[in-house]
Amino acid sequence: MLSRIWSTLSGLTERQGADEMTEMQWQDSVLGELVCGRPHGDAKADKTLQHLSRTINTFSTKGVRYLQEEFSDESKYFSAFCARVVLENSSAAIVGRLDPFRLLYLNEFQSQPSFEHGAPAKSGFRWQGDVMNPDKPLGQDRIWSSDVDIAKISRSLFSEHFDHLIWRPAYSELLDQIQNSGRDEFEELISIEPEAFVPRMRGELGRLYSSLSKGVHWDFFNSAIEYDESSIKANLQDLFSRVSILGLTSHFIPTAYSSLMPDDAFDIYAQMRSHVS
């Protein structure tokens, strides 16, 4: 295994020129802009989103190349890592645009002289907590109950309260905008009902995260079950599809930070999808 990975790494230099050409072409249609918007200010929130946008662009460039080009050892061993970086950073950016305090806190926390890369941080960004609600859902009959303690009200990206207050109205507005604009190239969006948006995203992104984690840790003890070309490219296709939809929808949330105008968001979404379809 180590010799195969070393051989793959040795070959990266030879492909640098092709990589640079791919990246130059990809910069015209960046996933980072669809997820983070266009933060151009000098405020700490803007700078943090700019950083996340660059990270998403860098790793999504690699991911698109792995998706489009002929299957190789490099894509086999490193595509899951690139994809999970895109998934987690995209989720973090949207969490931060909806809750700027969380974004500012994480930036300031990592700016402290005492910050250590290897030290576990209880307040750090977590998939289970910031994105997924790790607690048992309250249920439709209790989410607005007066006897629910504030600590039980989750602010994770796909919690039941975010579903009702943020995602359903945003997706309804998105569908209205599509209908009013007369655009007919968004069949994959029209097929999703607002009430199904969060359950669908929660389930699909949860499965994708688990699948990518398997590829990142590479805990395969039988070569017969290692990810092959079809499974790797299916994961990448799912990643770009779901994150693009999530990013697009975020720009129809009136309280979201650094949002695009609707027409700009649709145009970038269409451009993004054209690169991975």
Query: Tell me: the pLDDT tens digits for 110-163?
Result: 999 999 998 989 999 999 999 999 888 777 778 888 888 888 889 999 999 999
The sign of the torsion formed by the CA atoms of 74, 77, 81, 86 equals positive
Q: List 132's β-bridge partners, or say none.
A: 128
List pLDDT tens digits, range 102-120: 999 999 999 999 999 989 8
DSSP 70: P
Q: Could you tell me if 49 and 93 are in contact, meaning their C-beta atoms sit under 8 angstroms apart? A: yes
Classify residue 258 as left (phi > 0), alpha (psi -120 to 50) or beta: left
**223-250 burial code (b ≥16 CB/10 A, e <16):** eeeebeeeebbebbebbbbbbbbbbbbb
Return the number of other C-beta atoms located less than 10 Å from residue 51's C-beta.
Answer: 16
Straight-line distance from the first to the last Cα atom of the chain, in angstroms, rounded to the nearest whole number: 32
Distance CA 215, CA 263 (A): 37
Asked if the model's pLDDT at residue 179 lies above 60, the reply is: yes
Residue 63 has pLDDT above 80, yes or no: yes
Weakest-pLDDT range from 26-40, 193-207, 228-242, 255-269: 26-40
Residue 21 has pLDDT above 70, yes or no: no
Q: What is the dihedral of CA 177, 178, 179, 180, to 10 degrees?
A: 50
The three-class DSSP label of residue 32 is helix
CA–CA distance, 184 with 178 (Å, rounded to integer): 8
Asked whether the predicted pLDDT for residue 48 surpasses 70, the reply is: yes
Lowest mean pLDDT among 29-38, 79-88, 97-106: 29-38
